Amino acid sequence: MSLITVERKVLDMNDKIAQENRLIFKENNIFVTNILSSPGAGKTSLIEKTIECTKEKFSTVVIEGDIETSLDAQRIDALNIPVVQIVTNGACHLDADLVKDAFKNLNKKDANLLIVENVGNLVCPAEFDIGENIKVVILSVTEGEDKPHKYPLVFRESEVLIINKIDLLPYLKISLETLRSNALAINPKLKIFETSCYSGEGLEVWCKWLENRIKFFD
Ligand SMILES: Nc1nc2c(ncn2[C@@H]2O[C@H](COP(=O)(O)OP(=O)(O)OP(=O)(O)O)[C@@H](O)[C@H]2O)c(=O)[nH]1
Ligand SMILES: [Mg+2]
């Protein structure tokens, strides 16, 4: 019983800071995309590709979240994009307070898109609002079509599902149609894209959608 109370307090405090973040992001006229997935589904790869295909339209900055290492931040830094790495030292998600601090330390002059790569995990990050405009969940085709039913919260909370690594489909038994219908059964409003960060398939459609989504945010 007391454990449940503590957890509620932590989430209430997080929601309060997330609302403050939302105001700060709005004041800075910056659209915030929170990217979630299990480890290795392709979050950093998709961020790299998104930066590349939207560079004429947006000035992007990135916050990276990892349990250990700054390897992902190094990949973004190599593109000359301002980036701050949060190392959680074991925590399985980013929270609003960590993102607030990281945002303060970000060189964000003229930026209008902030992409946050959350810690690789399909469970905890979905519970923590960080003040983002949209959550995007990535699922790679090797993870199986049952994941929306097994990890429903992240699919419920996300506006977008990106099914990544579709270049691997010829080697797998997964049905994309079943995966899509499982995801839509959990969240009928999900916007679904199919991408390959290797072949480039589907990336333009995703980037165009993001451009429009940012154009019309208030
Ligand atoms: N075949 C294939 N491999 C991919 C694709 N996208 C990413 N990968 C590979 O998948 C592995 C993980 O990609 P990352 O982008 O590092 O994944 P991540 O989700 O950021 O991983 P974590 O940050 O560790 O959770 C790397 O070896 C990528 O090269 C894709 O579309 N197709
Ligand atoms: Mg990564």
Chain position carrying tokens 């946050």:
116
Q: Which residues contact 145 (CB under 8 A, 6 or more apart)?
A: 174, 175, 178, 179, 182
CB distance 168 to ligand 1 below 6 Å: yes
120 lines ligand 1 (CB under 6 A): yes
CB-based contact 63:99 (threshold 8 Å): yes
Which position has the token pair 């992001």? 25
Residue nearest to atom 30 of ligand 1 (CA): 165
Q: For residue 103, report the distance from its CA to the centre of ligand 2, in Å.
A: 19
**Which atom of ligand 1 lies at the shortest distance from residue 47's CA?**
15
Residue 1: what pLDDT? 58
pTM: 0.96
| pLDDT tens digits for range 98-129 | 999 999 999 998 999 999 999 999 999 999 99
Instruction: Quote the pLDDT of residue 2.
Output: 60
CB 63 within 8 Å of CB 185: no
Pocket probe mutation, ligand 1, options 45, 123, 140, max atoms within 8 Å of Cβ: 45
Q: Is the CB of 49 under 6 A from ligand 1?
A: no
For 202-215, the pLDDT digits (tens) are: 999 999 999 999 98
Nearest CA to ligand 1 atom 9: 42
Nearest C-alpha to atom 12 of ligand 1 is from which residue? 40
Q: Coil, helix or strand for 25?
A: helix
Tell me how far the alpha carbon of residue 178 lies from the centroid of ligand 2, in angstroms.
27
Q: pLDDT tens across 135-165, in order?
A: 999 999 999 999 999 999 999 999 999 999 9
Alpha carbons 132 and 184: distance in angstroms, whole number = 22
Half-sphere exposure of 184 (CA within 13 A, CB side): 10
**113-117, strands of its sheet edge to edge:** 83-87, 60-66, 113-117, 31-37, 134-140, 160-164, 191-194
For the chain, give the mean pLDDT: 95
Cα 62 to middle of ligand 2, angstroms: 12
Q: Which atom of ligand 1 is nearest to the CA of 46?
A: 15
Contact 83, 32 (CB under 8 A): no
pLDDT band at 8 (very low <50, low <70, confident <90, very high): confident
Q: What is the pLDDT of residue 29?
A: 95
Cβ of 125 closer than 6 Å to ligand 1, yes or no, is no
Task: Determine the pLDDT at residue 3.
Answer: 64
Task: For residue 83, report the distance from its CA to the centre of ligand 1, in Å.
Answer: 19
What is the pLDDT averaged over residues 72-87? 97
Q: Which CA distances in Å does 64 have to 177, 180, 205?
A: 32, 28, 24
Identify which ligand lies nearest to the alpha carbon of 165.
1
Residues above pLDDT 70, as percent of the chain? 97
